[in-house]
Structure 1
């Protein structure tokens, strides 16, 4: 006999299980299991009844239990570094959305450094979770050099443009994006253009710098040594204060939007108008870029498309598809009010 205290406790609600689905659908639990695992032997009308029962009960399959039965984890591993920055963080968000829509989940491991031991430890951790495929998001060339030496036993893609893993790479064309930004300034009549780059060992920073230099070279314009930055608005601000002491240029292409924001701040403190005295272009098109003062002209990267393509390629490889496109995603120049024709 229960005590009054026990009797007053609310009854704990049990989550629906596979047998509940079978009961509501009027089928065996083995049939429900076949439906959950996409068995070709199940009839369409039976599958429809099971799906209706699942929705009615709010049933969620136990992924761990399914992995034991099917020998499939339906998990994609992500080996990532420097996810605090906008680009990598947004890529992971886009990949997670695309994976979820395809019925997969992500297991994300952030490596503590780009040293070989850290990369190997991160990869070993993911493989121990029986991942079916792998995505590598890391900013530095040496990460991919180390990856080349490791034996990756599952289909994988890398979000980089070094060419070290051309058969596995997906990327937004960073060089083309930088060329678009630089060409825009040239078309506005600017001939003295500075570039504030990202860190020297970052893949994207190097590619954007190369695009800038190539476009200036094709236009037969004088090239200046790019300033190596660190992606922060803080750096853009102090670099701007120093560069504007001489003011022997009329436009600047910043390697990302945060450094462009800092440079705008330096222009205001120096009594210069943007774009009247100085035209500024950024890169990434972060959500705040349209609300800078003035709104920032920048290069937009389609992170959602990269996420979709990464999952599409991996699922294709899991199916044995040999006709997979690794063509780079093209960037887009977004023209706003931070650039103007040279007076």
Structure 2
């Protein structure tokens, strides 16, 4: 077993543990490896980020280089020092911006197996960097992806001719807690019978939050006082044109009473407990952690059928077409008005996650992938 290898085996590398699905997976993976007594270290090219605190003994097991420039040669040397101190048996890279630095530091100084894990569908901004990443992908010994859709996208992007192992995301179970439910709903000014829709994700174009705002407009006209609802989005707002557009749309559509951006929240378990329905309006996804978290928290899920979502959830979620606010609103209204259907979806979702997307299964799959690479090496 990998845990019997020499001390300090696994190095997980990414840009920063900022709020996001990929970063959240790394916190789960790091904690899962520790619980199985597998030595590990998380290295961030930039800063540690807000999610670093979620890793057990983060001061000991998370390092940050502080590199913020483009083509920063000093970052290669900083990684070299960390590699030398840590002596990893495997380096698992989780984003493309980290790939060149890891490849160079490893090529010149260590030559241990490099494994790349692909998390998303490369929504925008990657085509101009394709030649660079195709070149550095030559130094990879292994490749994994969170879904078949993600694997196919990255295989084409890199012209990768070798195997890509699919390792689905896994999440820890979120327990029901009525006290947490009450706290958040009081904060949001909600009565016991009001319906709370929860969305989780940093506002970026691929998340399709403008579609969710327009769905709220349609849903408001459908309910006409019959139901009271709120839509809450947990995610870090940036000073970007896209975020400013979203906030302006909420004002223009007079949705301040029912649509709110909560910003970055650490109390995600409390948010899942407070919600009645989870909604995902994305235009592009791999295998969203947030859907799995919502399901393990026993929330019914409405999601757009993009990327790896349809294959992952099957009949355990209510799927709709992306970029169609009216269809999304109809689905939201359907679950608002049908408690039995909400309960049925909640049960199916929780059973699905327990069977296929548990933390235990995910961590074991990564350990097996690491072991296979060490054997090849």
Q: Which TM-score bucket, shorter chain as reference?
A: 0.3 to 0.5
Higher Cα radius of gyration: 1
TM-score relative to the length of structure 1 = 0.37
TM-score relative to the length of structure 2 = 0.35
